[in-house]
């Protein structure tokens, strides 16, 4: 654990202070970890030849390290594998509601979004790579690490894991009803929030699965829980 | 409409051809538009001072133009407002399922993800800005444009819309059961897909809404439909 995270708060740097609605920003480790853990996928940004690239990928958090799952042949893996790694911005967004105000201007979203900025480096240590891959599988479905076959050497070679220290991170969120201006309250429009929820299941067995393999309880009742 | 989109296919450029699973890539306008329209938010990447930034934002598609909604004070608005605009990468991802294979290596996601690369420029024409903002509101909830108050001059000045021509775009997707290796079929693990769905509703009225304003039918039965 870094000094910052043991104090429970990441430092608010110029880069992690939003230009707008900075009152919506938070830096506490627990809240940031909860969002990183609940979201299955992230969007990772990197710069290639001066141009921005954003790709969706599966991530996992292990204490204050973030691991991004990619393939050895990917551009991200190549850039992260170069000496010194590559700057990345990892953004995770959970959408909680559509905020419909009387005015178009005050329309908004209820959401929780974490931005992690740092340097992505390729994981080269064999054990760390195995552990990170197991953590990725565990991130997809709790308990799955023990109920699946670990990678062969060849599979491991085809897989790349990019490590990003969670040292510069912020959470921006909005919650609650629309904020309509006083003068707009008379307008004859409905205003409120439409809840957005991500639901999981049912679990469909693979066509090639023998008839007598039951759906594990945890997969049948799949939910995203924060650790 | 550009020549490309009237032919129904975006050109596969080096930049939009994935390094991995290129068989999962598609370039047809209709399929790409459907994903852009179904997703409420996108992740936009840009380069600031040589570093990648990824922010979630609301987008909308108007024919072959993508509009990103931001505030005038945002870094993105400033970069896009500079002469010549700024390179952006807009990525939209819809998660459809968790693919659990017998092997950790073959774990995957069912998803549809569109990547649009291009130059983002700030919308300066007043009418285009009004139209784009109305389209953003319409993108959040169909019919809402007519049932909300258009922006005042001051509100419009505080809002920025960034235009990105949809000319270089690709859709990558995966669907279906896990692809386990022949040799893994004997393993005693459950394999299959856990469906992931985004659900909308209920609609909660704002606390300051008069008692007699009914929830419009379209909001009570809110769904995301592709246009």
**Residue B1: predicted pLDDT:** 37
Q: Domain B3-96+108-176 falls in which CATH fold?
A: Pnp Oxidase; Chain A (2.30.110)
**CA diameter of chain A:** 67
Does B224 contact chain A (CB < 8 Å)? no
The bridge status of strand B159-165 relative to strand B108-122 is antiparallel
Token digits for A191?
A: 């205003």
Q: Which CATH superfamily is domain A3-179 in?
A: Electron Transport, Fmn-binding Protein; Chain A (2.30.110.10)
* % of chain B exceeding 70 in pLDDT: 96
Token digits for B95?
A: 């998660």
CB B123 within 8 A of CB B67: yes
Does A209 contact chain B (CB < 8 Å)? yes
pTM over 0.90: yes
**Residue A12: predicted pLDDT:** 85
Asked if A47's CB is within 8 angstroms of B213's CB, the reply is no
The band of A3, judged by pLDDT with boundaries at 50, 70 and 90, is very low
Q: Is A151 helix (H, G, I), strand (E, B) or coil?
A: coil
Q: Is B122 helix (H, G, I), strand (E, B) or coil?
A: strand
Q: Which residue has the higher pLDDT, B57 or A214?
A: B57
Q: What is the pLDDT of residues A121-151, one digit of tens each?
A: 999 999 999 999 999 999 999 999 999 999 9
Going by C-beta distance under 8 Å and a sequence separation of 6 or more, which residues neighbour residue A93? Answer: A39, A43, A111, A112, A113, B41, B43, B56
The band of A168, judged by pLDDT with boundaries at 50, 70 and 90, is very high
CB B129 within 8 A of CB B81: no
Residues of chain B contacting residue A93, judged by C-beta atoms under 8 Å apart? 41, 43, 56
Asked if A113's CB is within 8 angstroms of B56's CB, the reply is yes
Token digits for B145?
A: 């444009």
Q: Is B37 helix (H, G, I), strand (E, B) or coil?
A: helix
Asked if B190's CB is within 8 angstroms of A205's CB, the reply is yes
Give the mean pLDDT of A207-222: 91
Asked if A219's CB is within 8 angstroms of B201's CB, the reply is no
Give the mean pLDDT of A33-50: 97
Q: Shortest Cα distance from A157 to chain B (angstroms)?
A: 11
The band of A21, judged by pLDDT with boundaries at 50, 70 and 90, is confident
Please report, for chain A, the start and end positions of each structural domain, with discontinuous segments joined by +: 3-179
Q: What is the pLDDT of residues B104-146, one digit of tens each?
A: 999 999 999 999 999 999 999 999 999 999 999 999 999 999 9
Residue A18, pLDDT > 80, answer: no
| Alpha-carbon torsion (B120, B122, B124, B128), positive or negative | positive
Q: What value of ipTM does the predicted structure carry?
A: 0.93
Spell out a b/e string for A63-99, using b for 16 or more CB atoms within 10 Å of the CB, else e.
Answer: ebbbbbbbeeebbbbbbbbeeebbbbbbbbbbbbbbb
Q: What is the pLDDT of residues A71-125, one digit of tens each?
A: 999 999 999 999 999 999 999 999 999 999 999 999 999 999 999 999 999 999 9
Token digits for B147?
A: 């049932």
CB B87 within 8 A of CB B47: yes
Tell which of A16, A18, A54 to mutate to test the B interface (max B CBs under 10 Å). Answer: A54
Q: Which residue in B60, B62, B87 sits closest to B76, CA to CA?
A: B87
Residues of chain B with pLDDT under 70: 1-7, 225-227
Give the mean pLDDT of A180-185: 95
**Residue A4: predicted pLDDT:** 46
**Residue B81: predicted pLDDT:** 98
Q: How far apart are CA B146 and CA B136, in angstroms?
A: 12
CB A121 within 8 A of CB A85: yes
Q: Is A218 helix (H, G, I), strand (E, B) or coil?
A: helix
| C-alpha pair distances (Å), B156 with each of A76, A141, B68, B129, B140 | 38, 45, 14, 8, 18
Q: Shortest Cα distance from A68 to chain B (angstroms)?
A: 14
Residue A212, pLDDT > 90, answer: no
């Amino acid at each position: 654990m870094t000094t910052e995270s043991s104090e429970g708060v990441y430092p608010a740097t110029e880069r992690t202070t939003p230009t707008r609605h900075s009152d919506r920003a938070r830096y506490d480790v627990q809240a940031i970890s909860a969002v990183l853990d609940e979201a299955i996928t992230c969007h990772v940004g990197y710069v290639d030849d001066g141009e921005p690239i954003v790709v969706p990928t599966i991530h996992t958090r292990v204490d204050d390290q973030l691991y991004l799952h990619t393939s050895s042949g990917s551009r991200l893996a190549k850039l992260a594998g170069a000496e010194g790694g590559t700057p990345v911005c990892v953004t995770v967004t959970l959408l909680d509601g559509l905020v419909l105000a009387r005015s178009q201007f005050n329309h908004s979203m209820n959401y929780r979004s974490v931005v992690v900025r740092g340097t992505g480096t390729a994981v080269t240590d064999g054990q760390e790579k195995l552990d990170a891959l197991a953590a990725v599988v565990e991130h997809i479905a709790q308990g799955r690490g023990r109920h699946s076959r670990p990678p062969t050497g060849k599979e491991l070679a085809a897989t790349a894991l990019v490590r990003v220290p969670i040292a510069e991170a912020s959470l921006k969120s909005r919650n609650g009803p629309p904020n309509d201006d006083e003068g707009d309250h008379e307008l004859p429009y409905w205003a409120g929030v439409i809840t957005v929820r991500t639901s999981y299941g049912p679990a469909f067995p693979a066509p090639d699965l023998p008839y007598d393999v039951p759906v594990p309880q945890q997969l049948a009742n799949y939910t995203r829980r924060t650790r």
